Amino acid sequence: MAIVALVSAKGSPGVTTTALACALAWHRRLILAECDPAGGSVMAGYLGGVLNGPRGIGELAVGELRDGNLEQAFWSQLVDLDAPKRERLLLPGVVDPAQAGSVTPLWQRFTDFFADLEKGRPPYDVLVDCGRLHVSGPPWPVLRAATVVLLVTRANLPDLSVTRSVVRAIERDFVEHRVPSGTLRLLLVGDGHSDAEIAKALRVPVIARIPDDRRTAEVLTLGGTVRAGRPLMRAARGLEGPVRAMLEHRRARVAWPAEEVPDAV
């Protein structure tokens, strides 16, 4: 499925929580890449900081700038979220703000690498936590290359007001860079205005709504046992279907029948 990107307008609508829930519930092999320039939180939070030594996209960036060895180093920087199956892997985000300066110039390089992972043996989908858009050095190349961009927002008026400006910023950028239409979708968190009201006001379709399941969100944020039957995990599991349907629809739109080649005379 190539790249699915999650991004937000505000600091706490649940982007990382939702991305991690989806990673744990996904049916296909998947890599969750923390590409939030403000820093990653899964290692210290959900995984409780149990791994010794630095690991993640910051280390990859330093190595790539020094040696150009992304292909060789990538797999050693991943954390198995469901060991030892290697079906759900995490690329941790930066933990030292100084690392963000090394990562920013390499967003396009990482994006190209992520896009090729669906062609690997075995293939992997890549779910990218892009964090907030209004930060220094956001991963625009990831958003432009994504099959689906999910803009995560709470369904209340204050959050939607901020989200509106982010929608317009993404739309302007996508037009400028000729990103195919229909890439952007809203992913709502919690109760509030209806899907139809929000889609009409922001002029972007709503792909799904994630319940405000605070008990599960706390486990995904601070660590603990994730229960598959909880509302948040059920919703995350159900999100894969609409996302995959979007991919198939886009592929069908751009597909052309192969030209018949006449027999040689």
Reported as a pLDDT band with limits 50, 70 and 90, residue 261 is very low
Residue-level pLDDT at 264: 43
Which whole number is the average pLDDT over 147-152? 95
Q: Which of 85-89, 94-98, 113-117 has the lowest mean pLDDT?
A: 94-98
Q: Over the stretch 237-252, which tens digit does the pLDDT of each residue have?
A: 999 999 989 888 777 7
Which whole number is the average pLDDT over 29-42? 93
Which whole number is the average pLDDT over 137-144? 94
Residue-level pLDDT at 255: 58
Tally Cβ neighbours within 10 Å of residue 245.
Answer: 11
Residue-level pLDDT at 250: 74
Residue-level pLDDT at 124: 95
The ranges assigned to domains in the chain are 3-238
Q: Which of 80-84, 127-131, 240-244, 249-253 has the lowest mean pLDDT?
A: 249-253
| CA pair distance 91, 109, nearest whole angstrom | 15
* Dihedral sign (CA 202, 204, 208, 210): negative
Residue 144: CB partners within 8 Å, gap ≥ 6?
A: 111, 173, 174, 177, 179
Q: Which of 48-57, 85-94, 111-120 has the lowest mean pLDDT?
A: 48-57
Residue-level pLDDT at 263: 47
Q: Over the stretch 1-23, which tens digit does the pLDDT of each residue have?
A: 689 999 998 767 789 999 999 99
88 compared with 10, residue with greater pLDDT: 88
Residue pair 170/151 in contact by the 8 Å Cβ criterion? yes
pLDDT at residue 262 is higher than 70: no
pLDDT at residue 260 is higher than 70: no
Residue 139, judged by CB atoms within 10 A of its CB (0-12, 13-18, 19+), counts as: buried
Q: Over the stretch 189-237, which tens digit does the pLDDT of each residue have?
A: 999 999 999 999 999 999 999 999 999 999 999 999 999 999 999 999 9
What is the CATH number assigned to the segment(s) 3-238? 3.40.50.300
Q: Over the stretch 91-101, which tens digit does the pLDDT of each residue have?
A: 999 987 777 88
Residue-level pLDDT at 178: 94
Torsion of CA 44, 10, 146, 88, to 10 degrees: 20
